[in-house]
A and B are shown apart, each in its own frame.
Chain A
Amino acid sequence: MVHLTRRLLSGITLAAILGIATVSTQAATLHMAWSQDATGLDPHKQTAFSSLRLLELIYEPLVRVDASLQIVPAIATSWAFSKDGKELSFKLDPKAKFQDGTAVTSADVKASFERILDEKTGAAARANFLSIAGIDTPDAATVVFHLSQPDVPILTAMSDVNAAIVPAAEITAGSIGTKAMGSGPFKLDKWDPNAKEVLSANKDWAGGATGVDGIEISVLPDEAAILAAMRTKQIDFALLNDPLVATLVPKEASLQLNRVPVLAYHVLQLNPSRKPMTELKVRQAISCAIDRQEVLDTASLGEGKVTGPLTIPALATDPSQLFCYKRDVEKAKKLMAEAGFADGFSATVIGATGEPPTAAAEAQVIQSQLAEIGVKLDIKMMELNVYVDAWLKGDFDMAIALNGGRADPYTMYNRYWTKAGNLQKVANYIDDTLDSQMQQGRAETDPEKRKAIFADFEKHLAEVSPWIWLYTSYSYTAQQKNIAGFVPTPTGTLFSLSKVTIQ
C-alpha cells in the first residue's frame, strides 16, 4: 500500500513537472496514431497503405466491400450486369454530396473514370479498367459502363478508393491531389505531412451522422512509442504493423487489440528466369523444404495463418491439400537430385528493411531451412525504394515480399499470372493453364463455377511453384476499451471509424 501510494504520488509529481494533461480531449475527438503517414491526397494515384486508409475516410467509390468481402452500396445504391456481362449500370444515391455541398452526379462518375483511364493522369488502378469501352449517363443518377468483354471482377475493382469519385469541377480545375474534396464521412481540415492530420465530420454525408466530431491522426514513427502513448491514454486508437509490438497490447488492462486476417500475403518469390529456378523440380524442392508454419511462428510469433495463393476466405482451398504444404525434406532432396543439383546451389534473397517488419526474420528462417537441402542463401536487406526498383526490374534470385491482396482473385493476380500481365517481368513465369484459368474466371458470372475455376488455379499455381506462398498475417488496430463500434476488415480499411463512438 505504501509502495502503491508512493508510486502514484511520484507519477502525479512527474506529471506535474512535465506539465502533462492525461485527459486533454473533448470527448468527441478521436485521437489516433500510426507510424507511417499518408504520402499524398490524390485518390487515383496513391497506393501506400496509410494514404489509402486516410483517403477512404474522405473519398467514396461507387461501391464498397464489407467485412465479409461482399459488395455493398456506397455512392451507388444499386447496380446490375446485363445478361451478356458487357454492360454494368449503377443508380447513384440522390443524397450523395461532395463536401462543398454540390450533389454527386453521373457526370462526376464519368469524369472520374475518364481521368483514371487517361494515361496522362498516371492513375494506379488504370489497368483494372481497360475493358471499359464507353460510359453513358442517361440521367444525373444513372451511369452505364459499356465493356469490351465480360468482366466480373471490375465491380470489385470499383470498390477500391483508387477508383474514388471526385468532383468533375476539381478535375477541370486541376486541384485533385492539392486539396481533398470527397463525398465521404470526414473532411480533411489540416494535413502536416509526416506529423499529423486533422479530420472533421462531414455533416452532409449521405451515410448519416458520424459517431465522433473529428479525428486527429498523429504520426508516431516508433511503434513502441505508440504503445507508450496508449498506456498513458493520449491515444484512443492506433494502427500497428509489428506483431512484436501488437502482441504486447492485450497485456494492458485498459487496451484492446483488434486483429483480422488480411488479404495480403507473405511470399518468397522465386525468379524462374534465373538458373536454377528455371527448373520445375528445383522450385518444387524449395517448396517442399520450407516449413511455412515455422516461418510464421518465428517471424510473426504465430500471428497469422499459412496460406496458398488465394487469401480470400470464400475461395481459398485448405492449404494442407496443396502441393508440399507439409514439409518433406526427403522429397525435396530427391527433387534436387533429379534436377541435377544434389549438392545444392547458392542464391541471393532480397528484402526491404522494415517493410514488412518481419522481412528480415522470414529471410533468416527460410535461409536456415533451405540450408538443409544444400541451398545457400545470401540475404540482402535494402531500403524500400531500392528494393522496389530491383523488384520491378525482376533483378533478383529470390525476394521476400508482402504483396497486397484484393477481394477478387482476378484483380489480385492478373498482373502476374496472365500472358498480358503488366508484372510478367517480375513474375517471370506463365503457362497456358494459368492464363486460360484466369480468363475463364474473369468471364464467369456463376459464383459456384467461379470458385471451382479458381480452386484449380490455386492448385496448379502451388504445384508449379513460381513463388512459395507462406502466410497471411493480421492487420492490427489497438484501442482504448471505451471506444466502441470499430469493425476490422480483411482489406484493412478504417472506414468503420465513421460509426465509432467514444463512451
Chain B
Amino acid sequence: MRILRAIFGHGSGRIGGAIVCVYLLIAVLGLLGLTPHNPITQYRIDRLHAPSATYWMGTDLFGRDVASRLMAGIGQSFTVAFFSVAFATLAGTVLGLAAAWLGRRWDGVVMRVMDVLLAFPAILLALLIVTVAGPGTWTSVVAIGIVYTPIFTRVVRGPALSLKAREFVDAARTFGSSSSYIVTRHLLLNLVAPLTVQVTLALAWALLTEAGLSFLGLGTQPPAASLGLMLSDSRNLMETAPWLMIFPGLAIMISILGFNLLGDALRDILDPRMRRAFA
C-alpha cells in the first residue's frame, strides 16, 4: 500500500503507473473476451477496411477487427512477457547470487552452464524447445525465460561480486551474521536497483522476442493474436494497410514507456539510500 502511494506521489511513477494500469485493464478485458467485436470473427466483406466508426483501428486481411485483436493481443503478449520475465528473474537471481556468494567451484559450474546457454544461438534453442514441447503460449514463456536466464544471472552476479567486496558486507560478516542473512538482507536489497531496471528492460525484450518467435512461426499460434504476431503479419501489408503496423507498433511502444517509467520510479522508491543528489 505504501509503495502504491509512493508510486503515485512520484512524478514519472504516476504516468508510468497509469499507463501500466490501463494496459493491465485492457489485458484483462482482452483475456476475458470483453472486446468491441470478437477478435477472431472474420467479417469477410470488410477485409482490409481502413479505420472507421465501426472498426476503430480498421480490419485485417481476414476482416477481423484490429481494435479487438489489439486488446486480445495485449492480453496474450503481457501474459507471455510477465511469465517469461518472472521465470528469468527468479532463475537468474538465484543462480547469480549462488554463483557470487558460494564462489569458487559453484561459481565456475553455474557460470559455465550459463556460458553454454548464452553462447547457444537463441533461435536454435527456441526451435528445439518448441519442437519438443509444441508451439504455444507456455512454450514461448519457457523458451524466452531460458534465453534470458543467463543475462539475469550475469546482471546479478556482477554487482553482487562488487557488493560482496565492499566494506559493509565484510563488516556484517565480522559481526557474525549468517551467510543467508547477509545474502538476503544486504545483497538482495542492494540488487533491487539494477534488477528493477533489468526487469523493465527485459519486459520490453520479452515483448519483442515474442514478436520474433511469432515472426518465425514459433510463437503465438493463429488465429490468436499477440502484439508481435500482429506486427509481423503486417510487414508485407505495410504499404497496402499501414494501420495494421501502426497500432500494434504504438501499443508496444507505449507499453514499454509505461514499464520504463514505472521501473524508474520503483527504483527510486525501493533504493535504501536516498537518491537525487544531483537532481
Contact = CB atoms under 8 A, between A and B. Distances in A.
**A and B, one complex?**
yes
Interface of A: 223-224, 242, 244-245, 247-248, 294, 297-299, 353-354, 360-361, 363-365, 367-368, 379-383, 386
Given A298-B61, A363-B222, A354 B236 contact: no
A118 B23 CA distance: 64
Contacts of A247: 240
B135 A380 contact: yes
Most buried by A among B40, B44, B222, B239: B222
A380 B236 contact: no
- Interface centre among A294, A297, A298, A353, by most chain B C-beta atoms within 10 angstroms, is A298
Contacts of B41: 368
A379 B237 contact: no
A379 B223 contact: yes
B62 interface: yes
B89 to A, nearest CB: 29
B134 A361 contact: no
B236 A353 contact: no
A380 B62 contact: no
B62 A365 contact: yes
Closest 9 CB pairs of A and B: A353-B217, A244-B236, A381-B217, A368-B42, A364-B223, A364-B222, A360-B222, A379-B222, A245-B236
A298 B236 contact: no
23 contacts: A242-B236, A244-B237, A244-B240, A247-B240, A248-B239, A294-B44, A298-B62, A354-B217, A360-B217, A363-B222, A364-B42, A368-B41, A368-B62, A379-B221, A379-B223, A380-B135, A381-B135, A382-B131, A382-B135, A382-B217, A383-B216, A383-B218, A386-B131
Contacts of A379: 221-223
Given A353-B217, A382-B131, A383-B131, 7 more contacts: A224-B238, A244-B237, A298-B62, A299-B61, A364-B223, A379-B223, A383-B216
B47 interface: yes
B119 to A, nearest CB: 22
Interface of B: 40-42, 44, 47, 61-63, 127, 131, 134-135, 216-218, 221-223, 235-240
A472 B42 CA distance: 23
Contacts of B216: 353, 383
Contacts of B235: 224
Given A361-B61, A379-B223, A380-B221, A368 B236 contact: no
Nearest to B215: A353
Nearest to A357: B236
Contacts of B62: 298, 361, 364-365, 368
B243 to A, nearest CB: 15
B130 to A, nearest CB: 9
A343 to B, nearest CB: 20
A354 B238 CA distance: 18
Contacts of B63: 298
B254 to A, nearest CB: 26
A266 to B, nearest CB: 16
Contacts of B134: 380
A367 B47 contact: no
Contact of B217 (A224, A297, A383): A383
A298 B47 contact: yes
Contacts of B238: 224
A383 B237 CA distance: 23
B179 to A, nearest CB: 47
